[in-house]
Structure formats: structure tokens, C-alpha cells
């Protein structure tokens, strides 16, 4: 059966983190260290990469479309970025925001000197602030919400750059993990709720920051601690490290999807091994949603740790019933609809000799549009599985994210349009079940979701957004105002 569906996504059926950041100061060959760190963060953004370095006198930037290895794998490329301090960024582009002009770090010459910024997250009032700045005469060179921060810093009247950055960040809402470079040193900071992650490490005399601890493993650095929610850490040129809490105290709400999918399993997030957390999620899923089958089969690669936990808790054998090819690029040429719809078989292939005649339960981290789940269930049936059940290591994803995750419009999220039974019918599984939100909290070491004071940002599951969404509210009002006269005329 060929699949032609309005919710088909040729680029995959996963929520996508939009970026990862890395920075190091007081290091020999800082750009080379940064490139290596970005390799470890490549999973967080695979469409563009940039590095900016500083040698004590001059800032130098190099940016490119593609992977880190496409742009920073040669000695010549690294030699273009001299200096002891560097920051880097890997990103996905979103609709209308591709191209080199949006590749970070963004750089500007301010009155106080050079200013480079790498940002993971999303400013949910960026359009509103941008409009206000443009009305005052600001000229933007990109469509990135990160450039709003640069303009706010540039127009702040506070005397020091650090105070101007604090002044700027007081005006923004949403999520940010920032690495900033100035002629005076490096600043790392995280939004007051800590929605997006940021970690701190050391390698010799060098201080380094990264979205995930796995980057420290790769460069040989020692993980020191996370940058706390609302914390700003400044490292001057002599290596003095100063911590500030300019935004007061707030109850942290880190993104729970870091445990479920975004972070590499060999990272530490919120003080816990991501791999162990995912195994615990799988075990909780087995406790809540048992299944009478012969084999537990992960949807690779992201479903593997949860499937191990499910198998261990249930006593059902774990087997690799699906084999994934790691050599399929996301930009693979699609000469026809037939080839385009065969994408799942380029990435995944059934292990026919194993699953034929067996009752299997597939374990995946999430269902977004549902199209990939449908194709994988179909593939298992074609390989001879007698029953195909589906278990999901997260609650139904029914709401869009506005904090730095590239999610489809809510109308394209399967769980926003359907209850579980219609979803089961859509993906053609014999049964379908999700972990509960309380079960997910238990699995990652927290008490069940605590009413109005949840411990994580889980808005993609619950619709409980932890900050104001000014741009969305303005758009909703604007759309209503625009549509009202049309309805009247009709």
C-alpha cells in the first residue's frame, strides 16, 4: 500500500530540537575544540553550523549549511578561526528561516565592542519586540528571534555590557540558553525557568559550556555542573568565574522531552543519566500498559533504551526486529512519489526472519503526525508479524511547542485531532497505549505531576505553557480581527 496523506512529512515524523550551543574560553585552538564539541551535539541540529572565535583583538566567524563535518573538518577551515575563545551553534531551520543569514552565532559591532551570541530556545514575544524596535529605527539583518536580543542590548542605557544583557533579557519571554562572547570574556546564561539545558565543564585552565554533557566527554573535559535556571555565569579573560542571579528565584520547569528524546542517551540531564531515565520510562510503560506478545521491538534508534526497560520489566525478550540504516541523509533526492513514500524502508527495514509469525510490541518515544508509525506497523505486517502492538514512551503529543522545538501546527498533531482508539485505527496497530503523565514523572524521579506546580515544562502533552505567549496571542487576536469582516460580508 502506498501512503498518500495530507499529514505526510517527508523529513520524518519526530519533534526536532532546533539547535545546540557550545562555547570555550582560555583554550588553545578554541575553534578546534568547539568543532569537536559541536560534533557531539550534531543530533540537536543538522542543517547548519557556525563558529565565531576571538583572539584578543578580532572576532572571526565562519558559517555553513550542512553538518559540522561538511564545514569544519579540515585544518584549513579551523585555521581561519584563530583565538583562545570560541562559540558554536548547530541548528535546524524552520519554515521561512533558512539561509546563511540566520546561521549562528550572530555577531554585531556594538559601541562597547564585538558581541557574538549563540542561542538555544525561542523568544515567544520576539515578533512584538521586533516590531517595536523597527518602529524606533532598528534595521534587522536576519529573521532570527536571537537578533532581537542583540538590538535590545545595543539600545540599553545601562553602563556595563553585562547589565545591558540583563536589561535586554528582562524584556523577553520564552526559553533561552545563551553563550555570549565579548572582548571582556564569555557569558553563559539560562532563562529563569531553565526550559532549555546548558552545562558547564572544565578542561585544564579552559572553561566550557554546552547544551549537553556528552560534548564534554568528546573533548576530554570534566563536567562540573549545570548552569542553573536564571543563572548568569561570566568568565573573564583571566579565568575568573562569577555567578549572578539577576532574575530572582523561580520554580524551574526544564523541558521533560530532554529525558524522552532530545538529549543523547549518554548525556546527563537534570542530574540523571538520560539512558537510565529512558529505561525507567520503558519499565513504567510496561507496568501501566502490559502486552501479551512474544517480542519487544524498539523503533530505532530513539526507542531502544525504553524498549530495554519495557522488556526487563515485563520479562518479554528484547529483539532488534527493525534494522536502521545510518547512511540515509535527510536531503535524499526524491524523484517520484513512489520513491518519496518509500523513505521509511530506506531508514528502517524489518528483520523478517525474527518477526515472522511472532506477536510483537513496538516501542517508540513519541507519535507526532503518526505517518511513520503507520508505515512501520505496515512494514511489520508485511514481514509476517502475526500481531503488531504499539506502546509509546511519552504521553500523547497534542500541543505545539513555542520554546525552541520545531513542532507541526497543532492541527497536524495526531493526538490533537484524535483520541487513542482512532489513533490506533489510523496507525493500524492491534493495540496502542501511551505512558501517563504521572507515570512519566515517576520514571524520571519526580512525584506525580503536582497540579498547578509541575516540575517540568510538559506543555506539548498538557497544554500548560509556563510563560506568556505574547506573539501567539497577538496573532490569534489579529486573525480574529481579520476574519470578522469577511464573515460579516458573507
Residue with the three cell numbers 504521572: 438
Catalytic residue chosen out of the listed positions 19, 189, 255, 460: 19
Compute the distance between CA of residue 294 and CA of residue 359 in angstroms, rounded to an integer.
5
- The owner of cell 501479551 is 292
CA distances from 252 to 81, 195, 277, 326, 357 (A): 37, 8, 19, 36, 48
Please count the other Cβ atoms lying within 10 Å of the Cβ belonging to residue 421: 10
Give Cα separations from 411 to 12, 351, 399, 480, 489 (angstroms): 17, 34, 9, 17, 27
Bridge partner residues of 202 (DSSP): 207, 222
Please confirm, yes or no, whether 457 is among the known catalytic residues. no
Alpha-carbon torsion 376, 378, 379, 384, what sign? positive
Q: Bridge-partner residues for 349, per DSSP?
A: 323
C-alpha–C-alpha distance, residues 21 and 191, integer Å = 15
| C-alpha to C-alpha distance for 249 and 17, rounded to whole angstroms | 27
83 secondary structure, DSSP code:
S
Q: Which residue has the cell 535524499?
A: 332
**Separation in Å, CA 28 to CA 34, 83, 206:** 11, 7, 9
Which bin fits 248, alpha (ψ -120 to 50), beta or left (φ > 0)?
left
Question: Which segments within 14-91 are labelled E, that is strand?
Answer: 16-17, 19-25, 48-54, 59-65, 85-91
- Sequence-distant (≥ 6) Cβ neighbours of residue 158 within 8 angstroms: 164, 166, 167
Helix (H, G, I), strand (E, B) or coil at 296: strand
Listed residue (391, 312, 303, 300) closest to 344, CA to CA: 300
Instruction: Show which residues are catalytic.
Output: 19
Amino acid at each position: 500500500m502506498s501512503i498518500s496523506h495530507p499529514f505526510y512529512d517527508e523529513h520524518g515524523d519526530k519533534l526536532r530540537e532546533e539547535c545546540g550551543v557550545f562555547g570555550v574560553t582560555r583554550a588553545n585552538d578554541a575553534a578546534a575544540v568547539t568543532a569537536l564539541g559541536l560534533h557531539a551535539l550534531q543530533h540537536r541540529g543538522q542543517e547548519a553550523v557556525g563558529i565565531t572565535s576571538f583572539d584578543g583583538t578580532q572576532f572571526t566567524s565562519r558559517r555553513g549549511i550542512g553538518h559540522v563535518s561538511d564545514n569544519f573538518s579540515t585544518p584549513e577551515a579551523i585555521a581561519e578561526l584563530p583565538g583562545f575563545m570560541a562559540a558554536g551553534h548547530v541548528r535546524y531551520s524552520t519554515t521561512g528561516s533558512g539561509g546563511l543569514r540566520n546561521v549562528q552565532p550572530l555577531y554585531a559591532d556594538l559601541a562597547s565592542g564585538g558581541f557574538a551570541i549563540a542561542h538555544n530556545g525561542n523568544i515567544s514575544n520576539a515578533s512584538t519586540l521586533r516590531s517595536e524596535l523597527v518602529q524606533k529605527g532598528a534595521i534587522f539583518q536576519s529573521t532570527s528571534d536571537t537578533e532581537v536580543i542583540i538590538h535590545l542590548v545595543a539600545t540599553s542605557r545601562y553602563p556595563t555590557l553585562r547589565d545591558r544583557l540583563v536589561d535586554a533579557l528582562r524584556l523577553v519571554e520564552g526559553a533561552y540558553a545563551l553563550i555570549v562572547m565579548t572582548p571582556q570574556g564569555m557569558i553563559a546564561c539560562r532563562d529563569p525557568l531553565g526550559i532549555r539545558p546548558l552545562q558547564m565543564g572544565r578542561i585544564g585552565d579552559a572553561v566550557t559550556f554546552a547544551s549537553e554533557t556528552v560534548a564534554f566527554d568528546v573533548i576530554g573535559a570534566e563536567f562540573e555542573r549545570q548552569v542553573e535556571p536564571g543563572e548568569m555565569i561570566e568568565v573573564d579573560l583571566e579565568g575568573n568565574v562569577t555567578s549572578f542571579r539577576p532574575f530572582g528565584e523561580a520554580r524551574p520547569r526544564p523541558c521533560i522531552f530532554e529525558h524522552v528524546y532530545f538529549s543523547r542517551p549518554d548525556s546527563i540531564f537534570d542530574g540523571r543519566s538520560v539512558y537510565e531515565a529512558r529505561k525507567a520510562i520503558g519499565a513504567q510503560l510496561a507496568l501501566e500498559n502490559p502486552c501479551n506478545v512474544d517480542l519487544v521491538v524498539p523503533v530505532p534508534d530513539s526507542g531502544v533504551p525504553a524498549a530495554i526497560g519495557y522488556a526487563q520489566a515485563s520479562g518479554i525478550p528484547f529483539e532488534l526486529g527493525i534494522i536502521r540504516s545510518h547512511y540515509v541523509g535527510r536531503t535524499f533526492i526524491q524523484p517520484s512519489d513512489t520513491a518519496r513514500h518509500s523513505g521509511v524502508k530506506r531508514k528502517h527495514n524489518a528483520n523478517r526472519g525474527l518477526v515472522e509469525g511472532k506477536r510483537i510490541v513496538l516501542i517508540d518515544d513519541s507519535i507526532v503526525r503518526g505517518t511513520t508509525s503507520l508505515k512501520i506497523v505496515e512494514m511489520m505486517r508485511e514481514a509476517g508479524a502475526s500481531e503488531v502492538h504499539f506502546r509509546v514512551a511519552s504521553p500523547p503529543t497534542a500541543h505545539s511547542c513555542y520554546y525552541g522545538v520545531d513542532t507541526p501546527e497543532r492541527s497536524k498533531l495526531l493526538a490533537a485531532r484524535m483520541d487513542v482508539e482512532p489513533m490506533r485505527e489510523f496507525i493500524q496497530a492491534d493495540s496502542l497505549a501511551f505512558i501517563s503523565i504521572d507515570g512519566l514523572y515517576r520514571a524520571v524521579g519526580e512525584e506525580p505531576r503536582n497540579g498547578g506546580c509541575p516540575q517540568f515544562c510538559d506543555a506539548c502533552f498538557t497544554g500548560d505553557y509556563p510563560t506568556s505567549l505574547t506573539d501567539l496571542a497577538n496573532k490569534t487576536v489579529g486573525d480574529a480581527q481579520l476574519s470578522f469582516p469577511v464573515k460579516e460580508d458573507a
